[in-house]
Structures are given as structure tokens and as C-alpha cells.
Amino acid sequence: MPDATYVHDAFARIADRYVVTNHVLSGGMDIIWRKIVTARIRKWKPSRLLDVASGTGDLALEIQDQIPDCEVTASDFCAEMLAHAASRGIARTIVADALHLPFPDSGFDVVTVAFGLRNMADYPAALREMRRVLKPGGRLVILDFSLPEGILRRPYRWYLHHVLPKMAGALTGQKDAYEYLGGSIEQFPSGKGMTDLLETCGFGKTDATPITFGVVTIYEGTAA
């Protein structure tokens, strides 16, 4: 699992260019992925939602715009990233470590984490914290990278390790931060590995939905 200090410092260095870089590297698909997640959540009509590892607030902002009746809180342990979320219009932001969330038990209808769980120092501990702050029957939604199956896996891995770091380095001046990305994706549990982990951490009704040929996956779990 990643080193927390390294991850914090890496994101602090790329905070100013993070949003633009994501759009370029994904060919704009990151916008569509967040819209898909938001459309799912909108059907549940949540009153209170916590976006963990919110970063610059991309998902939180989409949810806030599309579900105006929902009180959205964005948290992240990197103040530099979260400052961008606040400047973009996220009404509620709080600098917080996902392993020690400063919220009472059973306070949220939905917890989301987009491209963030993979960067946490202890996946099970983070998931248990998210379970703690969810109301009974509340939903956890995870959006993160995964490795596609079949013939796409090899070229995708080549892209992660050889193309992406160079492109990101040109955009941000921080090539090393994106060299870390490829390895983190390969080490991150996906598919059944992730749904099994969710169940171990107290979630039921788990589901994994690969999208865009399996480059990313949406995971869901219900707080038992």
C-alpha cells in the first residue's frame, strides 16, 4: 500500500494542474465517468453525502450541481488540493485523513471516493471508516482505475508505464508523481478482489461495474 507522506507531497505538487491534466490524459472520459456515478446516486435521493479523498472536488462539484437538495461535504488530507475544491464552489470542505474521519457515526446517506482509495495507506481501515460514518443502509460508491481483461491489458499497461508519465510530466513538470500511478493501479484490488474486501469491511449488496472496456470500475456496497 502507498506511503501516505509520499502521496500527500505528490498531490500537493500537482494540485495547480491536476484538473486539466486529468482531462487531457483521459481524453475527457473522466468527466463522463463522474456523470455516470452521479446519475446513479441521484436515483437514491440522498440528503447528506461525503466525498472522501475529494482532491480538487471534481466529483463533489458534479454531485452538488446535479443533486442540489443534497448537502455535499468534500474531505481530503491534502490542503493544497482541497483549496482548489473550495475555490471552485464546493460549499463544505474539510481537511481530513480518510483513516480518521472527523465525523460522527451514521451521519451520511452516501459516501463516495473517486480515484482516491487506491492512494490510501490502509484500504481496509479506510473502508471501515467510511462504513462507520454511513447510516445503516447507506451506500458507498467507489470509482477507480482497473486493469482491462483480454487483449487490451498489455497495451494499457504499456500506456500506464511509458506514455502516461511522459505526457503528465510535460503538463505538470512532475513526471515522478505519475510514474507512481501505473504501479498503484496494478497493485490495487479490482473486480471480485474489491467486492470481497468490501464485504470483509462490513458492506453488503456489493457490485462491480467495469466501464470503458474495464479501464475504470464502479464499485458499490451497502452499509450493513
Q: Which residues are annotated as a binding site for S-adenosyl-L-methionine?
A: 56, 76, 97-98
Specify the amino acid at residue 43: K
Binding residue ranges: 56, 76, 97-98
Look up residue 26 and give its three cell numbers. Answer: 483521459
Query: What are the backbone angles phi and psi of residue 78, rounded to the nearest 5°?
Result: -105, 105
Cα–Cα distance, 8 to 19 (Å, whole number):
17
| Cβ-defined contacts of 92-97 (< 8 Å, 24+) | 93/54, 93/57, 97/4
Of 221, 214, 223, 222, nearest in space to 33 by CA: 214
Q: List the 216-223 sheet strands across, edge first.
A: 92-95, 71-76, 48-52, 108-114, 134-145, 216-223, 203-211
Contact 16, 77 (CB under 8 A): no
Length of the chain equals 224
